[in-house]
């Protein structure tokens, strides 16, 4: 089960989805360490990137040490998208991914993201300009259509293939569905039948079991995991193992998770700076602890704390208490389902 994205060969096409506020460099590094077919950056607004001038954490990242990485761009101006693509290739992007799928209102209202599925001529110009601007493969991520009355993903995929797009990822919902209901993996099969380039299925794939069902239902060449990776950077590797050998290892042991959480926290503080890092790290810490004993109280305490040293102490104490439970023969996991993470959920989840 391998595929080629232009000259780039992917042996295990299980990908980390582009997720705003989640797939930053610290998180991507952890995912790649465990293993991933390919990781995607957060969505980058192309015009904002060009207008900023001064460096920013999201748009001024050097990707060379992460190669291969796909950088996702959003925008509605062909020339601007092309220029942003060239800049990111210069920073080490191995693939440029165009966002035709983001359903968030502020993106759609700027005529970008999934709004472009309603304007196939403009979408085609954006793809054409971007493909001509760079010498690396260009891919596209889209939804099934704007709504159930305008399912045009197969037609837009054919247009993309004719222009020179090298891979299509389809989230199995329309824009108007946002993230409600269930992703329709069967509907993605129409896109697969429409083109000869690789097709990746996305949406509601939380781990190996869903990945297998999504691939079988869609006939896709690979899968993309988004929300399933929250607090579980190892889930991509587990899914790759499952496809290769029919089974996968269990989740990491408690000491490994504790060390991983502390390392991730320190990397976020280094990457974003003390003040911003503390704020951004909260959702990740909550996801890591979701379903673990006493996590609800820990989450409340962390969300109120501004001092990173105190947060470190909280996490060390928390995992020490879990280790004591293990030593006493008690479970370190809650017996009930994990709580809804609510406000920690990114808007552009996948």
The secondary element (H helix, E strand) that includes residue 141 is strand 138-143
- Cα–Cα dist 302/285, whole Å: 8
Catalytic residue among 67, 76, 102, 289: 102
Known binding residue 171? Answer is yes
Residue 76 bears catalytic tag: no
In terms of DSSP H, where are the helices of the chain?
Answer: 25-34, 46-52, 78-90, 105-108, 120-133, 153-163, 185-194, 208-218, 235-245, 254-272, 274-289, 295-304, 308-327
Q: What Rg, from alpha-carbon coordinates, does the chain have?
A: 20
Rounded to 10 deg, the angle between the 208-218 and 185-194 helix axes is 50
Token output for 260: 């991983």
Q: Which residue has the tokens 């993230």?
A: 179
Classify residue 249 by its DSSP letter: P
Q: CB neighbours of 155 closer than 8 A, spacing ≥ 6? A: 120, 194
CA angle (219 as vertex; 214, 220 as ends), nearest 5: 75
| Three-state secondary-structure class, residue 331 | coil
Known binding residue 141? Answer is yes
Known binding residue 193? Answer is no
Cα dihedral value 20, 22, 26, 30, nearest 10: -130
Known binding residue 207? Answer is no
Pairing between β-strand 167-171 and β-strand 14-16 as defined by DSSP bridges:
unpaired
Burial 40-58 (b: 16+ CB within 10 A, else e): bbbbbbbbbbbeeeeeeeb
Sign of CA dihedral 241, 10, 173, 229: positive
Q: Catalytic site residues? A: 102
**Binding site residues, as ranges?**
72, 141, 171, 226-227
**Binding site residues for FMN, as ranges?**
72, 141, 171, 226-227
């Amino acid at each position: 089960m391998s595929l080629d994205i232009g000259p780039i060969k992917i042996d295990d096409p299980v990908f980390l989805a582009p997720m705003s506020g989640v797939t930053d460099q610290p998180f991507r590094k952890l995912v790649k360490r465990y293993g991933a077919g390919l990781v995607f950056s957060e969505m980058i607004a192309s015009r904002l990137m060009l207008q900023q001038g001064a460096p920013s954490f999201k748009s001024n990242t050097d990707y060379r040490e992460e190669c291969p990485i796909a950088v996702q761009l959003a925008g509605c101006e062909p020339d601007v998208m092309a220029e942003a693509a060239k800049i990111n290739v210069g920073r080490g992007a191995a693939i440029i991914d165009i966002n035709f799928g983001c359903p968030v209102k502020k993106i759609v209202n700027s005529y970008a993201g999934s709004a472009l599925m309603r304007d196939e001529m403009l979408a085609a110009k954006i793809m054409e300009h971007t493909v001509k601007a760079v010498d690396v493969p260009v891919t596209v991520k889209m939804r099934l259509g704007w709504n159930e009355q305008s399912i045009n993903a197969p037609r837009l995929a054919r247009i993309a293939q004719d222009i020179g797009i090298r891979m299509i990822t389809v989230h199995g919902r329309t824009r108007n569905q946002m993230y409600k209901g269930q992703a329709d993996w069967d509907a993605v099969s129409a896109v697969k039948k429409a083109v000869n380039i690789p097709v990746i299925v996305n949406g509601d794939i939380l781990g190996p079991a869903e990945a297998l069902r999504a691939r079988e239902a869609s006939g896709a060449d690979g899968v993309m995991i988004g929300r399933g990776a929250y607090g579980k950077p190892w889930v991509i590797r587990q899914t790759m193992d499952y496809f290769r050998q029919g089974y996968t290892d269990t989740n990491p042991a408690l000491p490994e998770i504790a060390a991983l959480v502390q390392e991730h926290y320190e990397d976020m503080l280094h990457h974003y700076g003390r003040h911003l890092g503390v704020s951004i790290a909260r959702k990740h810490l909550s996801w890591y602890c979701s379903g673990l004993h006493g996590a609800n109280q820990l989450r409340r305490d962390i969300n109120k704390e501004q001092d990173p040293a105190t947060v470190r102490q909280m996490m060390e104490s928390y995992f020490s208490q879990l280790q004591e439970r293990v030593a006493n023969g008690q479970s370190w996991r809650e017996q009930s389902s994990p709580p809804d993470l609510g406000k920690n959920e990114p808007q552009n989840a996948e």
